[in-house]
Structure 1
Amino acid sequence: MGQAICELCWKRSDLVISTKIFWGGQGPNDTGLSRKHIVEGTKASLKRLDMDYVDVIYCHRPDPSTPMEETVRAMNHVIDHGWAFYWGTSEWSAQQITEAWAVAGRLDLVGPVVEQPEYNLLARRKVELEYLPIYSTYGLGLTTWSPLAFGVLTAKYNQGTIPPDSRFALDNYKDLATKSLQDEVLLKVNGLKPIADELDATLAQLAIAWCASNPNVSSVITGATKESQIVENMKALEVLPKLTPDVLEKIEAIVQTKPKHSESYR
């Protein structure tokens, strides 16, 4: 990525670049969110990117083996040294994010400004229910991942077969495939096709635009293995203005996945 940005001569201030810290090697100190690993891992990431700083660095998983205060202090050390402007979390619970902010507030430090959770039409509880109390309290934004539910929402699995070049064809995804490719889910995906056609969009564009329509979502992470997929994904921006309240209601009537507020946090 660093080489590409350099060769394309993109203006650095026009870009928002992030990296993650948690895993990093097989050594005893190469994982987790200790001060040692955060500092060493951040330096290693910047070296690979050939950059002086990133805009955001995520703590990619909570670390029960490291005191929260140590992690918060270490992330502020990273910011104070100019290696990142902000720090965030990935796959943290609302309780853990709240704890980090409590530590930051007590020590007059910077708390996490963004969380990176899974979010799509089939996975909504965390974003739409668990995090509700902390959006306005801490100004938390979201950079969500898996808007296509590992490709399920593209309908490429609706023919009853798993394409050999798809993620679900990999051995370590077989259990997830079995769980995800249920008849009830595939029927819902088929039900979304008329709505996508009405909006002159693909199912992928509809699914991505739906995620971006949530006011608490700052950015949607999309994946691609082909240039054509990047072009298709970015056209979701053209679909976004078409998602009126009436269209959103039609989508909900089909998927029926909106979490109930009576659900307990898990």
Structure 2
Amino acid sequence: MSRREEAESALRKDMFQTIIGSFVSPGTRGTDLNSELLNLELLAYNFHESLNLKPLFVDMRRRIGEGQEHAQDPRLLAEYQGYSDRIERVAREIARKQMIVLEGVGQKFDRTIDMTGDPVGTTLESAALKLGSRQSNFTIDILDIDRTRREVLIGLSVDTPDSVTGRQTKSATFSVGYFDFPMIDNTRLTGGDRCAVVLNSMTGESADMTVVLFPGAYASLKEKPYYSEVIESIRQANLGTANSR
């Protein structure tokens, strides 16, 4: 590693520690959501390609929800609603940024879930995507819908013919929401390729999703051990604070 790379790495580490420190400081945690949300935005925009931010987004959503439950003043309720809209907007923008990169090196297809009725138990139209010489066939089953959290529980099945080992089938069950980012939350397929499912939007009428197939090199995590350790400590600290109330 060159001196310039070492300097950049040290700068990013210092930046990370400075921002993340605001989440664990006893003097600030839980007292100023606006400042913490700003720090989450800075963290997301600078580290979204290498850091699993979902725990922080989920924890922030939980705390905003608790504030909404206890708020009586209409102005305070509107403020919390603004926070809720803001974290969703940031998350969707981060997912969009990552999808632009992945779509540029891979293949994708879009699907829409009809939300006017009960879509649970339905199967979306299957699709085939080809990356290099490998073609994969995708099937998505809708297993559950959480309209409040805007999450969809899906069953994903991916069939990939292989001339050596025969047909390979990868099955996975997972929830997809606004806080799932494709470079981090993805499924490993035959040959090392990856696929990810992104929830673009959800309303009372429909939910729009995109499935992207991309080279595994674009899903490699680059975070240092201290990133994950600090994130986990934040989650535990906030849960402890919530349980003590």
Q: What TM-score results when the alignment is normalised by the length of structure 1?
A: 0.25
Greater share of residues in helix: 1
Between the two structures, name the one with larger relative contact order (CA 8 Å, sep ≥ 6).
2
Greater share of residues in strand: 2
Q: What TM-score results when the alignment is normalised by the length of structure 2?
A: 0.26
